[in-house]
């Protein structure tokens, strides 16, 4: 599968930023581990991180133009309020899985709400960077189900 992995604001600080919440593995190392998992499964993975909402939206639109099969996205704090990101995900007919390193549901109240999850096929939260690998497998499983039921 051709998969785009998007990370939003401050995810590049992972490892240094609030390690008790987000873990001690740095961003580059996390992505290297996810890339390794993608390779072993025969997926083509493109990783992109930005602190800017518009740059993430541009990548979502690019994923459509370039026929990606799936999107994995950790929108960071944009999760909780970005209708623009939500609309971008809703605009493209590509299945997306939302990932959070931490369990946003047992944290501050404002993190409980995701405006983007409803336009994703599902959400994975609380498993650290393993969540990205679980999301990859979820996209693949979803595709297999569609194939069996005759959908494109």
- Positions annotated as catalytic residues are 22, 100
| Residues pairing with 3 in the sheet | 45, 70
Please enumerate, as own/partner, the contacts of 119-122 that have beta carbons within 8 Å and a separation of 24 or more: 119/86, 119/89, 119/90, 120/73, 120/89, 120/95, 120/96, 121/95, 121/96, 121/97, 122/97, 122/98
Residue 133 binds ligand DQA (CB under 6 A): no
Applying the rule CB under 6 A, the residues between 20 and 39 that interact with ligand DQA are none
76 touches ligand DQA by CB under 6 A:
yes
Instruction: Check residue 101 for interaction with ligand DQA (CB under 6 A).
Output: yes
Binding residues for ligand DQA, how many (CB under 6 A)?
10
* Binding interface with ligand DQA (CB under 6 A): 10, 74, 76-77, 79, 100-102, 104, 111
Summarize the annotated binding site for substrate as residue ranges.
Answer: 74, 80, 87, 101-102, 111
């Amino acid at each position: 599968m051709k998969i785009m992995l998007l990370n939003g604001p401050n995810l590049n600080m992972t490892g240094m930023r609030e390690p008790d919440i987000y873990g001690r593995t740095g961003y580059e190392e996390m992505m290297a581990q996810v890339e390794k998992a993608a390779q072993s499964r025969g997926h083509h993975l493109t990783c992109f991180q930005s602190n800017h909402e518009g740059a993430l939206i541009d990548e979502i639109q690019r994923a459509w133009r370039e026929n990606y099969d799936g999107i994995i996205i950790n929108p960071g704090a944009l999760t909780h309020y970005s209708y623009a990101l939500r609309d971008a995900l809703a605009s493209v007919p590509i299945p997306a899985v939302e990932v959070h390193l931490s369990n946003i549901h047992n944290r501050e109240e404002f993190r409980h709400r995701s405006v983007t999850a409803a336009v994703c096929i599902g959400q994975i939260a609380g498993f650290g960077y393993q969540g990205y690998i679980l999301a990859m497998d979820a996209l693949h499983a979803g595709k297999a189900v569609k194939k069996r039921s005759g959908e494109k």
